[in-house]
Amino acid sequence: MMSISQEVFDRIPTSVIVVDSKRRVLQANRSARELIGEAAIGRDLALSLRHPNILDGLDRVLGGAPEADGEITLPVPVPRNLSFRIERLNITSVDDDAVATLVIDDITSARKAEQMRTDFVANVSHELRSPLTALIGFIETLRGPASDDIEARARFLNIMHRESQRMARLIDDLLSLTRVEINEHVPPRQTVDVQRSVNNVLEALGPQANKNNIAFKVTSVPDLPKAIGDSDQLHQVFRNLIENAIKYGGNDKSIDISFNRVERIPGTSRPGISITISDHGPGIPKELIPRLTERFFRVDDARSNNSESGIGSTGLGLAIVKHIISRHRGHLSAQSVLGQGSSFSVFLPTDIVPRTEHL
């Protein structure tokens, strides 16, 4: 029968292992047993945890050093970053051996977050550097060789205008993403008529669609319930997805928008509604679909950065969509078939998120 002390020991979320001078595992809490296995008790720790940094640290501490610490990476079954600390205890085992504790923390999430921040800063620097370099170059040309060339001046000013707009879009999207992330842990509690929200977007984007001879086809089930959401943020979601369908779906085609009820939002047990936006464009390669919501990811860099075409993507739009839908405790899915088109489905709850769900 488990002792009270072992039960308390098992409640500690950090992995804690107690070993004797021969590195035999005397005791381990539940978290540690999940790491090294139940069979490790009574055996040399090296049979279960073979990393040389930990074993060397144990040998040094058991040999007289007061403590040792460090970080290691375990590559399998999935890469994990662990920090460890080893300390000698002022007690002995039943065999009068030295005893040490090995405390292991899983810092994988923290390291991933640090890497994401580093990558984010690097990407932002790169994205801003390109238009800034172009602007500086054209300004120097206009102040020098092209100072009296009226034709070149007009051409360069047009390019400078497009590049400055690109920077402005990037900054706007970065600010939008930051605002969404700040409140992502607090779901909205208001109701939104999503059909009206989508209709407002269609009205605003109508001139752009007409210019490309694109028709909107809307279908819905009767008496569609309202969603729980933030009207401004959902307007941003629908505008982004429909605008993408216009940009990349091809001219002289239709964009299909459908509204439906769903008994369960994917990944949850809650009822909701779905809004699916489909185009009939070239489609997206299957292997790229999981990356669509990554920051600064573009399916086609040449097309997305083509200022002449007026497309000019910042690569942040779908990242913003993902975080908004995450705040709504909804779900975003994407399907695509090359040569046939792409569909994006937004699932939104129709009942209030219990407060205990987001504490």
- Of the candidates 319, 272, 271, 269, the one whose C-alpha atom is nearest the C-alpha of residue 292 is 319
- What percentage of the chain carries pLDDT values higher than 90? 48
Q: What are phi and psi of 112, to 5 degrees?
A: -65, -40
Helix (H, G, I), strand (E, B) or coil at 351: coil
Q: pLDDT-based confidence at 341, cuts 50/70/90?
A: very high
The most confident of the ranges 82-91, 92-101, 207-216, 290-299 is 207-216
CATH number, domain 186-358: 3.30.565.10
pLDDT digits (tens, 9 = 90+) for 146-172: 788 888 888 888 888 888 887 888 888
CATH number, domain 109-182: 1.10.287.130
Q: Check whether 8 has a pLDDT greater than 60.
A: yes
Q: pLDDT-based confidence at 246, cuts 50/70/90?
A: very high
Task: Write down the pLDDT at residue 166.
Answer: 79
Domain spans, the chain: 4-106, 109-182, 186-358
Domain 4-106 fold is: Beta-Lactamase (3.30.450)
DSSP character for 133? H
How far CA 183 is from CA of 117, 178, 180, 326, 328, in Å, comes to 18, 9, 6, 10, 10
pLDDT digits (tens, 9 = 90+) for 103-120: 999 888 788 777 767 767
Task: Write down the pLDDT at residue 355.
Answer: 44
pLDDT digits (tens, 9 = 90+) for 65-114: 989 999 998 876 667 889 999 999 877 555 557 899 999 998 887 887 77
